[in-house]
Amino acid sequence: MKNCLGILNLSEVDAPFGVLCQGRPASMLPFAGRYRVIDFMLSNMVNSGINTIGVFTGNKVRSVMDHLGSGEPWDLDRKINGLFLFTPTYDYTTVNAKVGDIDLFYQNKSFVKNAKQENILLSKTYMLANIDLQNAYQDFVDSDADISIVYKKVSDPKNRFIGCDKINFSDSGEFESVGTNLGMEEDFNLSLEMYFIKKSVYFDLLFEAIEKGNANYLKQAVLHGLSKYKVRTYEFKGYVACINNIRNYFDANMSILNSEISNELFFRNGHIFTKVKDEPSTHYMKNARIKNSFIANGCQIDGYVENSIIFRGVKIAKGCIIRNSIVMQKTHVDENTHLNYVILDKRTTINPGVTLIGDPSLPYIGGKKAIISKEGES
């Protein structure tokens, strides 16, 4: 896939995540003890042979740059090709901020124009999957299509994919359109928002959107232009988790406690890479009891942990009971606390004797660096 340029677009909606996305985009949400959401699509591209990747960061830049750095964990720290970050620019001559990401792509059109690759893989990051993109790309090339969309047939009785894009086919099985899932059908074709596009078609869509003003976002420009081009679809049959709200984020983390899902998600078509942090092994102390949990390295545990995800460097004191919870990096849970259906962001402190009880559909969320006592959160 050396003839394919990778583009990750991080302009994703983060309002449904509340305080978890106060200082980070949804793509930077911590996941599974040591990863970030972006790691999955970035690793998919690298594992499939894409060696030039542009990341369009959106407005919350700091956490993106801190995590990705030079791209070394993904072998993208290169003199030729590699990782490129594109941050928003602002026009200080006007007081009106422009909505959308289309101008950012236009301002950086030279990146795509000067790239040697003739095709582009344009993708969001919130669909978590371990996918062999080489097969999808080869299908796109062999079909001589202008655009190819990766999708998955899903059964969604619990409405986990409400608001996501769905692909509609005609009775003869031909691609018809892309719409929005409203939950009217339990079984439908879920778009994974991975688009293979010829470079020439990309520029036609981009320039038309700028000139006509009919799209604020690049995704809108692509969808508006589908009727004018030869469109191909490629079905992915593996596991997919959609990280578009708190409930789905919590459930996706809990799903990795299933060994079949975790093996597929992290190893099926290549390893998932992330930023390296050198931590010692976790220290399990005298009173530590662990049941069906994912424990990262660097922790000190002297309490009871069940059905939970514990990130790096977490300290859990004597007498603690933690069930069905996500405890992020460097959090300190003091003695005799009880947590159930809770998400604690990084560097949170839980004072002694505190009880926090959430709900499976709406976990209790402790903000980053919060101090939670019996009197409340500060």
Sheet of strand 364-366: strand arrangement? 294-295, 309-310, 326-327, 342-344, 364-366
Distance CA(69)–CA(55), nearest Å, equals 12
pLDDT values of the chain reduced to their tens digit, one per residue, 378 residues: 999 999 999 988 899 999 999 999 999 999 999 999 999 999 999 999 999 999 999 889 999 999 999 999 999 999 899 999 999 887 656 655 677 899 999 999 999 999 999 999 999 999 999 999 999 999 999 999 999 999 999 999 999 999 999 999 999 999 999 999 999 999 999 999 999 999 999 999 999 999 999 999 999 999 999 999 999 999 999 999 999 999 999 999 999 999 999 999 999 999 999 999 888 999 999 999 999 999 999 999 999 999 999 999 999 999 999 999 999 999 999 999 999 999 999 999 999 999 999 999 999 999 999 999 999 998
Cβ proximity of 64 and 57 under 8 Å = yes
| pLDDT given at position 278 | 86
CB atoms within 10 A of CB 29: 24
The answer for residues whose C-beta is within 8 angstroms of residue 169's C-beta and 6 or more apart is 175, 176, 189, 233
Q: Which residues of 207-231 are buried (b: 16+ CB within 10 A; e: fewer)?
A: ebbbeeeebbbbbbbbbebbeebeb
Smallest CA-to-CA distance from 193 within 235, 149, 234 is with 149
Distance CA(364)–CA(360), nearest Å, equals 9
Domains of the chain, each with CATH number or no CATH? 4-268 (3.90.550.10), 283-372 (2.160.10.10)
CB atoms within 10 A of CB 188: 21
Q: Please give the model's pTM, rounded to 2 decimal places.
A: 0.95
Instruction: Give backbone dihedrals phi and psi of 243, rounded to 5 degrees, phi first.
Output: -105, 80
256: alpha, beta or left? (left if phi > 0; alpha if psi -120 to 50) = alpha
Burial of 196 (0-12, 13-18, 19+ CB in 10 A): buried
Burial of 364 (0-12, 13-18, 19+ CB in 10 A): middle
Q: What is the DSSP string of 21-42?
A: GSSS-GGG-EETTTEETHHHHH
CB atoms within 10 A of CB 162: 15
Calculate the alpha carbon distances from 319 to 4, 18, 286, 287 in Å. Answer: 54, 30, 11, 8
Smallest CA-to-CA distance from 131 within 274, 270, 263 is with 270
Burial of 93 (0-12, 13-18, 19+ CB in 10 A): exposed
CB atoms within 10 A of CB 23: 13
| pLDDT given at position 183 | 93
Q: 307 in helix, strand or coil?
A: coil
Distance CA(27)–CA(222), nearest Å, equals 21
Tokens 């530590």 correspond to 288
Looking only at the bridges linking them, the beta strands covering 294-295 and 241-242 are unpaired
DSSP at 20? G
Long-range CB contacts for residues 360-363, cutoff 8 Å, separation at least 24: 360/250, 360/324, 361/247, 362/246, 362/247, 363/246, 363/250, 363/325, 363/326
Distance CA(55)–CA(47), nearest Å, equals 17
Is the sign of the CA dihedral 79, 85, 90, 96 positive or negative? positive
Q: 184 in helix, strand or coil?
A: coil
Distance CA(345)–CA(292), nearest Å, equals 21
